Amino acid sequence: MPKSFLSILDLDRNEAHALVRRAHEMKRTDYRSDLLAGKTVVMIFEKASTRTRVSFEVGIRHLGGTPLLMTPAESQLGRNEPLRDTARVLSRYCVGLVVRTFGQEKLDELVKWGSVPVVNALTNEFHPCQVMSDMLSMYERTPDFEGLKVAWVGDGNNMAHSYMNAAVHFPFELVIAAPEGYDPDPAILDNARRLGARVSVTRDPREACRGAHYVNTDVWASMGQEQEQKKREKAFADFQVNDELMALAAPDAKFLHCLPAHRGEEVSESVLEGPQSIIFDQAENRLHMQKAILEWVFTA
């Protein structure tokens, strides 16, 4: 069975920490290799992307490979061909699939029917590559993770789910502040806690941010939720990360956002562009972590 990366829990604790250290070393040395020389990695993107697409394309090239992008507009994706057929055909052409899609079950089907590794570049349930990149951003500043408090303010979405999974392997406390009706999936939360994650959920963003070393948020309406924008604006009105919230965090606290950001909605302009924001370091780290993940997947 090929080694796939569908969620952070596909890693054990040692592998998760080793990936962060490896990505840090790749960044330090501007790493290149011929690991994927002469090989093609197919990127199936059913959702639009900037950082994920570019970082994976560049990362594949840095490892000597050739990326090939597939979208629904340019292929049989989303038409009449069963996914199991796509999985078996693409497995004959390429060495791996990087997939950005909707339901996690699509990745499971690609793994079941295909014979090459699958990397989760985002689903509705998880965004593991982004959160592992965030672990790199935190490691650069607080390398042991001990005693850290991480605040997640906003929707209990795929990012929140992957942060809960990360808290299984990295020893930080995670406090999620979400309005009623927007909590993380209880099954994912229960599983993370069962595996040792220190995660709590509150309705008060001030409680989450008080003393936090990292304050994190995401857009209120993600791709596919645009029709809920007005409803979500009302529900999340008190959950904007602004100067008032950041003042409650630790004096050296950093602000994180996976981007794109909606200035004036989930985060104020003053925080996003302020001295505590590390969003562009965070975005750059996508490249280095994608390379580390690809190396892990394609190294026996």
Q: What is the pLDDT of residue 1?
A: 79
Q: What is the pLDDT of residue 73?
A: 82
Q: What is the pLDDT of residue 224?
A: 64
218 is annotated as an active-site residue: yes
Tell me what the mean pLDDT of segment 146-161 comes to: 97
Considering 24, 53, 213, 218, which one is annotated as catalytic?
218
Q: What is the pLDDT of residue 230?
A: 86
Considering 24, 53, 62, 100, which one is annotated as catalytic?
100
One domain for residues 66 and 149: no
Q: What is the pLDDT of residue 221?
A: 77
One domain for residues 159 and 232: yes
286 is annotated as an active-site residue: yes
Whether 30 shows a pLDDT value over 80: the answer reads yes
Is residue 152 a contact partner of residue 179, using CB atoms and an 8 Å limit?
no
CATH number, domain at 72?
A: 3.40.50.1370
User: Cβ neighbours of residue 182 under 8 Å, at least 6 residues apart?
Assistant: 154, 155, 156, 235, 236
Q: What is the pLDDT of residue 160?
A: 98
Picking from 1, 7, 87, the residue whose alpha carbon sits closest to that of residue 44 is 87
User: Cβ neighbours of residue 39 under 8 Å, at least 6 residues apart?
Assistant: 64, 65, 66, 94, 95
Pairwise CA distance, residues 72 & 39, whole Å:
23
Pairwise CA distance, residues 145 & 139, whole Å:
7
Helix (H, G, I), strand (E, B) or coil at 207: helix
206 is annotated as an active-site residue: no
Q: What is the pLDDT of residue 54?
A: 98
Q: What is the pLDDT of residue 229?
A: 81
Considering 258, 282, 288, 290, which one is annotated as catalytic?
258
One domain for residues 273 and 134: yes
258 is annotated as an active-site residue: yes
**pLDDT digits over 17-28, tens only?**
999 999 999 999
Structure token pair of residue 61: 């090239």
Considering 22, 24, 169, 286, which one is annotated as catalytic?
286
Is residue 3 a part of any domain in this protein?
no
Considering 130, 240, 282, 290, which one is annotated as catalytic?
130
Q: What is the pLDDT of residue 16?
A: 98
Query: Per the annotation, where are the binding residues for carbamoyl phosphate?
Result: 49-52, 76, 100, 127-130, 258-259, 286
Q: What is the pLDDT of residue 111?
A: 98
Whether this prediction's pTM lies above 0.75 is answered by yes
Tell me what the mean pLDDT of segment 55-67 comes to: 98
One domain for residues 16 and 108: yes
Query: Per the annotation, where are the binding residues for L-ornithine?
Result: 158, 218, 222-223
Task: Tally the domains of the chain.
Answer: 2
One domain for residues 35 and 142: no
**pLDDT grade for 172, boundaries at 50, 70 and 90:** very high
Tell me what the mean pLDDT of segment 65-78 comes to: 85
Share of residues in the chain with pLDDT > 90 (%):
91
Q: What is the pLDDT of residue 78?
A: 61
**pLDDT digits over 234-277, tens only?**
999 999 999 999 999 999 999 999 999 999 999 999 999 999 99
Considering 22, 127, 213, 288, which one is annotated as catalytic?
127
What is the torsion angle, in degrees rounded to the nearest 10, for the CA atoms of residue 70, residue 35, residue 107 and residue 82?
50
One domain for residues 47 and 30: yes
Query: Per the annotation, where are the binding residues?
Result: 49-52, 76, 100, 127-130, 158, 218, 222-223, 258-259, 286
For CA atoms 185, 190, 196, 201, the dihedral sign is positive
Residues for the chain: how many in total?
Answer: 300
Is residue 148 a part of any domain in this protein?
yes
Whether 300 shows a pLDDT value over 90: the answer reads no
One domain for residues 154 and 115: no
**pLDDT grade for 130, boundaries at 50, 70 and 90:** very high
Per-chain mean pLDDT for the chain: 96
Q: What is the pLDDT of residue 57?
A: 98
Is residue 44 a part of any domain in this protein?
yes
One domain for residues 142 and 84: no
Q: What is the pLDDT of residue 55?
A: 98
Is residue 1 a part of any domain in this protein?
no
Tell me what the mean pLDDT of segment 160-165 comes to: 98
Q: What is the pLDDT of residue 139?
A: 98
Tell me what the mean pLDDT of segment 137-147 comes to: 97
Share of residues in the chain with pLDDT > 70 (%):
98
Which is higher by pLDDT, 261 or 76?
261
Is residue 144 a part of any domain in this protein?
yes
Residue 291 is part of which domain span? 8-127+283-299
